[in-house]
Amino acid sequence: MQERPAYLLVADELRQQIQSGDYPPGARLPTMEELRRSYGVSEIVIRHAVSLLRQEGLVETRRGGGTVVRTRPQVRRRAMERYAADARQAVEHPATEPRTSFTHDHTIGWRDYRLTAQYSEVPADEELAALFGAEPGTTLLRRHFVFYARGEPEQISVNFLPLELVAGTPVADPAREPWPGGTLAQLAYLGHPVSRVEESVSARMPSEPEARTLQVGQGVPVFAILRRLISGDEVLEVCRHIVIPADRVVLEYAIDVPSGPSGNLGTLRAGKPARGVAYVTVTFCALSPVFCT
């Protein structure tokens, strides 16, 4: 059996030390020369090993600061809770401390929250038209947001609203951002409270502008979330996409499952009622332009 290359063996040991906490987040790895002497290999072997760890998103190289274990805060994006927070913000008294689903995710106050906004009018392409159930070419308001928590860029969101719905309203004014309660509260303000949220999650590598804006580590993928906000039977917002570095977030979904003979999932193939057992199928849509429901 052929022996594994030396750089893989070095990478394996360094990876284990990072994952075990010997090198905690923020810790600096030994210098190239120190690692070379420690493992008794050439500098090129060490460079290949560190490059592999960097591609895996475990470390980053800082100019003048050596190689550092990446800090990866565990933000929990709880789908049901976060949108409930936006819905509450839409109806609560103005004196209530403002918040959005983003501040809910990051457990930050309004002072620690900032976003940048760029608005433009665009015609709906075929995919957007299909998602809205509208004709291609329908004029939409495109809104590009970059979300910051405690001064750090954490999320990009590009959403679209029918221009005829928002034209001439405060919702079309970027100077009104950030808006407490986000887009859900804005649609409620316009008289269209959201009754359904649909999300499709895919994974991909970031584009160069996304990686630069969000300061994504080399080799780290992003989650791209395609979202629709629906009021009654009308699709009033499409977000294509919400982009979040995959090493910074845990996506959590709570699913209520019917039980008993009358529930959709309450009967097994043999026709017998399920007792305390839920069968759930989760579909992962990777790099698909099709909206998954």
Q: Is 17 exposed, middle or buried (0-12, 13-18, 19+ CB in 10 A)?
A: middle
For 202-213, the pLDDT digits (tens) are 999 999 999 999
Taking 50 as the threshold, does the pLDDT of residue 290 lie above it?
Answer: no
Q: What are the C-alpha distances in Å from 279 to residues 257, 263, 265?
A: 8, 12, 7
Hey, what domains does the chain have and what are their CATH numbers? 6-69 (1.10.10.10), 75-252 (3.40.1410.10), 255-293 (no CATH)
Q: What pLDDT is attached to residue 215? A: 87
For 138-181, the pLDDT digits (tens) are 999 999 999 999 998 999 999 999 999 999 999 999 999 999 99
Element (H, E) at 127: helix 126-132
